[in-house]
A and B are shown apart, each in its own frame.
Chain A
Amino acid sequence: MLKLMKYELRKTMFSKLVLLCITGVAEIAYLVGVFLKTDKGDQILAFGAIGLMMCMMIGIFYIGIDSLISFHRDLNTKQSYMLFLTPKNSYQVLGAKILENGLSIFLAGVFFAVLIAVDASIGILYIGGVKEFLDLLNQLMISIQININLTPQQILMPFFAVLAGWLMTVVSGDLAIVLSATVFAGKKFSGLVSFLIFLLIDYIASKVLNAVPVVRDLMVQYVMIIGACFIMVIVMYFVTGWIMERKLSV
């Protein structure tokens, strides 16, 4: 399984390196802005901060999309032989993909959370104190019409709930890709039908998440939502693996 995961990582390595490079440019801009302490510096800081936020949001989104593109290629081109000639079953092949993608999404999330924490600390140290830094950040947020009055915990828990939800969406995409390559293979409009099925699966998944009981403690609420996402991921993993094992011809 680890060897399969290693090659899954290798397949999506290029886009992750591109993301890392762009993040590096935004980070340099942010740090230059912090150290310059001039009006021009503030502009560069704003550019860097917005760049980092964009890298985080688009980057994590793209890691999921890249995994779907790779999976589609693995089932619909001759490179599928590289996976399905190995002495591994479909559950292992799919499991390696989901685990690698889940870990990539989670680690990217942690990476950006740590980066933001470090950048905030640097900002506090060099701009002249917490209040000044928050004022500057608030001005920036007002300028892009976002108002934040939250604790780090209140930001992190929904953030990780969003990551879990995104992983669930990616796995429902995997299921749709497998349906397209098996049940609907060779049929007219198989791509469209699979996309509609993906929307249906995602709709059902969102209904399941809505059915999570509401509790007073917000942290417990998020833990329950993340748990529900993982249960959905596991259910869809077994359904997808079962279809692949019985129906998939590459």
Chain B
Amino acid sequence: MLECREITKNYGRKTAVDHVSLKIEPGRIYAMLGPNGSGKTTLMKMAVGLVKPNAGAFYYKGQPIGIESRKEIAYMSTEPYFYAWMTAKDIGKYYEDFFEDFSMKRYRDLLARMELTEDLKAKSLSSGMMAKLKIAVTMARDAKIYLLDEPLNGIDLLARDQIISSVLEAVSSDVALVISSHLVDELEKIVDTAIFMKNSHLVEVCGAEEVRIQQGKSIVDKYREIYGHGGEELC
């Protein structure tokens, strides 16, 4: 469905993503895990064409990513990115104007569930409210792939539950979800595949169930193994 082959991105002398190859398949929920600077965000941004790779490429349904892939891939950035003059209503209208798969009804439902109103100005939102708004506008799309970069960052426990339940509603056999987060234990409950990134490399892609059955470990244990003491050897 979505695939990258030997993709590399350098920022000056620093390599953010180094020869990563990865396949995202439909019907699965992926957790993209790794500490800050491991390359998760850059990899997601390359998947939607916001960042151009120095080598390698991303492909969607066998074709290089571009206009067509952006119609079916919904990306939620960790940073706020709406125009300052926009209200929640303007943001919905903007998405409705540009994305055929956007549902204004679902957007309004999600806003109501997140306890947000349409007259809220983007520039006056707290970080928690902004995170909810980003989730609402992203999940109101009927996309084939959702890439959510740190959707739970800075969110209190109750709001996290709201966000996770909204995200899980999108799950179906032809949809893939990729969620990056530091909150491994939160994601453990919902994901079926974990992607471990470290120092700009892809360390391992493993099924949560497979790790549990074959290795007798949880994703949290695996995370500790990779990033904790001795984890350097895996990279």
Q: Are B11 and A78 in contact (CB under 8 A)?
A: no
Q: Does A82 contact B81, Cβ atoms closer than 8 Å? A: yes
Whether, in the assembled complex, A81 has its beta carbon less than 8 Å from a beta carbon of chain B, the answer is yes
Neighbouring B residues of A82 by C-beta, 8 Å = 81-83, 94
A84 sits at the interface (CB 8 A): yes
| Residue B67, interface by CB 8 Å | yes
| In the complex, A79 has a CB within 8 A of chain B | yes
Q: How near does chain A come to B176, taking the closest CB pair, in angstroms?
A: 18
| Contact B80 A10, beta carbon cutoff 8 Å | no
User: Is A131 among interface residues, defined by CB-CB distance under 8 A?
Assistant: no
User: Please, which residues of chain B bring their CB within 8 A of the CB of A3?
Assistant: 97-98
Taken together as a complex, chains A and B put the C-alpha atoms of A249 and B12 apart, in Å, by 13
Q: Chain B's nearest CB lies how many Å from the CB of A211? A: 36
Interface stretch, picked from B27-35, B69-77, B106-114, B181-189, is B69-77
Interface size on A, residues (CB 8 A): 23
A11 CB contacts on chain B under 8 angstroms: 83, 85
Q: Which residues of B contact A84 (CB under 8 A)?
A: 49-50
Contact A89/B67 with A78-B79, A81-B77 known, Cβ cut-off 8 Å:
yes
User: How far does the alpha carbon of A86 sit from the alpha carbon of B96 in the complex, in Å?
Assistant: 11
Question: Do B81 and A186 have beta carbons less than 8 Å apart?
Answer: no
Indicate if B52 sits at the interface (CB-CB under 8 A). yes
**Inter-chain contacts of A85 with B (CB < 8 A):** 48, 50, 70, 75
Shortest C-beta distance, B122 to chain A (Å), equals 10
Q: Are B82 and A246 in contact (CB under 8 A)?
A: no
Contact with B51, one of A78, A86, A87, A249 (Cβ below 8 angstroms): A249
Q: Which residue of B12, B71, B94 contacts A87 across the interface (Cβ within 8 Å)?
A: B71
Q: Interface on chain B toward A: helix, strand, loop, or mixed SS? A: loop
- Closest residue of B by beta carbon distance from A88: B67
B81 with A79: CB separation less than 8 A: yes
Contact of B12 among A79, A89, A186 (CB under 8 A): A186
From A7, A14, A78, A246, give the contact of B52 (CB < 8 A): A246
Q: Does B37 contact A (CB under 8 A)?
A: no
A89 CB contacts on chain B under 8 angstroms: 66-67
In the assembled complex, A247 has its CB within 8 A of some CB on chain B: yes
Q: Is B99 an interface residue when CB atoms closer than 8 A count as contact?
A: yes
Q: Determine whether B68 belongs to the interface, using a CB cutoff of 8 Å to chain A.
A: yes
Interface mask (A1-13 → B, CB under 8 Å = 1, otherwise 0): 0010011001100
Instruction: Tell me the A79-102 residues at the B interface (CB within 8 Å).
Output: 79-82, 84-89
Chain B nearest CB, measured from A72 CB (Å): 15
Is A248 an interface residue when CB atoms closer than 8 A count as contact? yes
Task: Give the residues in chain B near A88, CB-CB below 8 Å.
Answer: 67, 98
A200 close to chain B: CB less than 8 A:
no
> Which chain A residue shows the least CB distance to B53?
A249
- Please tell me if the beta carbons of B52 and A247 are within 8 angstroms of each other in the complex: yes
Indicate whether A79 sits within 8 Å of B50 (C-beta atoms), given known contacts A87-B71, A87-B98: no
Q: Chain A interface (Cβ within 8 Å of chain B)?
A: 3, 6-7, 10-11, 14, 78-82, 84-89, 186, 246-250
17 contacts between A and B (CB under 8 A): A11-B83, A11-B85, A78-B77, A79-B82, A80-B50, A81-B77, A81-B81, A82-B81, A82-B82, A84-B50, A86-B99, A87-B67, A87-B70, A249-B51, A249-B52, A250-B50, A250-B51
Contacts A10-B85, A86-B98 aside, 12 further interface pairs with beta carbons under 8 A come to A11-B85, A14-B85, A81-B75, A82-B82, A82-B94, A84-B50, A86-B70, A87-B67, A87-B99, A89-B66, A186-B11, A249-B52
